[in-house]
Amino acid sequence: MPYNASMSTVYLNGQMLPLSEAQISVLDRGFLFGDGVYEVIPVYNRRPLRLAQHLSRLNDSLNGIHLDLSIDAAGWGEIIQKVIDANQGDEQSVYLQVTRGAAEAREHAFPNKVSPTVFVMSSPIADIPAADDIRGASAVTLEDVRWSLCNLKTVALLGNVLLKQEALTRGYDEAVLVRDDYATECSASNLFMVKEGRLLTPPKSRHLLPGITRDLVVEVAREHGFEVIERDIHEAELSEADELWFTSSTKAIVPIVALNDRAVGSGEPGALWREVLSYYRDYVEKLKRGEAS
């Protein structure tokens, strides 16, 4: 049966209900101010990938915007599993969002005695393709004009949206963001560079999201003997890269084969990318069998 989003089942403030029936107040602060946070968790064979790490990042984001929530890790696990079980497909993407809730009036200051809005939904995703089925992506460097707390995964994503759209409008698949002459990340993903057999990625800071997939790529690469260096990457270095990749929860590891209309390396997905992707796919296969988390 083809996927029909309107027929999916979601969680909203303690209730499981069809997506078509889920409603929130127009005074919800997520709607009015972008006052909320979110997470995206890939699911393979109905098992969430790195759930503990995703929930830890969610908690960091909640703390970062001073939003108290009574749901603990076990409670989140139950909610997320209910949503997974209620929807089609062994491979899913779970989206959860928490906003500060709906106040009686539109005021910038935090309202008193307001219950957070908690929403969780799921949609199908494709399994991770083999290397030969991935064509690679094109990218363009753009100025990182977002705010200075990109380490918080907030729903205020207009900066990311505008940068992504600019890349698409100009005929590219993704934008590599540059702030003060240094690459930070991409519009919706983390960035890796390969140079002389070493894997480089910008260090965690408030200017980029601490990606769960990013961390897993670093982990599996190091486990298999690759040198991984977390350091600042100057914009000028990007044009000399042997390989460039971006990573995200729903797209895994994607090679960038052209940057600013110039080939990256050979202009084809690189050998180191192929190898690390195979290790990443192996990890996901272990997750499917219940041998990893």
**Residue numbers annotated as active site:** 153
Q: Give the separation between CA 37 and CA 100, rounded to whole angstroms.
A: 9
CA dihedral 161, 162, 168, 169 (to 10 degrees): 150
What is the token pair recorded at 51?
A: 């759930």
Q: Give the separation between CA 92 and CA 94, rounded to whole angstroms.
A: 6
Q: Give the separation between CA 120 and CA 98, rounded to whole angstroms.
A: 9
Own/partner pairs for 5-10, CB < 8 Å, 24+ apart? 5/123, 8/87, 8/88, 8/121, 8/122, 8/123, 9/83, 9/86, 9/87, 10/83, 10/119, 10/120, 10/121, 10/122
3-state secondary structure 236-266: HHHCCCCEEEEEECCCEEEEEEEECCEECCC
Q: Order across the sheet with 9-12: list the strands.
A: 15-18, 9-12, 117-124, 92-99, 36-44, 47-48
Q: Give the separation between CA 55 and CA 73, rounded to whole angstroms.
A: 7
